[in-house]
Structure 1
Amino acid sequence: MSLYRDRDKSEAKAMRAIAKVRAANKEIKRLSAENADAQAKEAFALGKLEETLKIEGELRSENKRLEKNLAAARLSNDHLRDRYVPCPDHRDKHKTGDECLMCPLEPVLGKQTP
């Protein structure tokens, strides 16, 4: 009987060890799935970050272009303001050097004051 008892104990030990290995394998599979999910989320976030940085770069270059256009427009306005004066009939309705919206402007050689 001792032989049977030893064999039963060995089988019970082996069954417990197998159960532990199976539980460990399940845990490994669960952790692997979580890891894969986390990696997918990280890749998605990195993709969004790269897309955001690309858009930010495009916006910065567009902003620089618009700033250059604004500077050129201001320079052009200053140049036109020096060459044109309001007509005599509407001089009192707007500041000196501003464009008169009421009548056509006539070019002059220099800046004139009202």
Structure 2
Amino acid sequence: MAYVKVCALGDVPADGALAVEVDDTPVAIARSGDEVYAVNDICSHAEVSLSEGEVYDGTIECWLHGSCFDLRTGKPTNPPATQPVATYKVKVEDGDVYVSLAADG
């Protein structure tokens, strides 16, 4: 699958997240420091939007129950979530953010 332009880099808040949709899939674009990540925007525990939560130390926190997910792996770093969220490939070109939903490999 090809990369899809989802937003301008400037639209993603510093150490925050932005909700976008790629082929009907909800995706949270998150910035942590200088890095940009894309994870599924739906918490694996409570099915709420992760993009509405806090981003810090390479994680995104669900605002409802406080589960944090590693932005690199999608794995939960604390309860109550036990299942990971999907992560997606991201590239930034000419000030725009592109996401690919294709699985690695």
User: Larger % of helix: which?
Assistant: 1
User: Larger % of strand: which?
Assistant: 2
TM-score bracket for the superposition, by shorter chain length: under 0.3
Using the size of structure 1 for normalisation, the TM-score is: 0.22
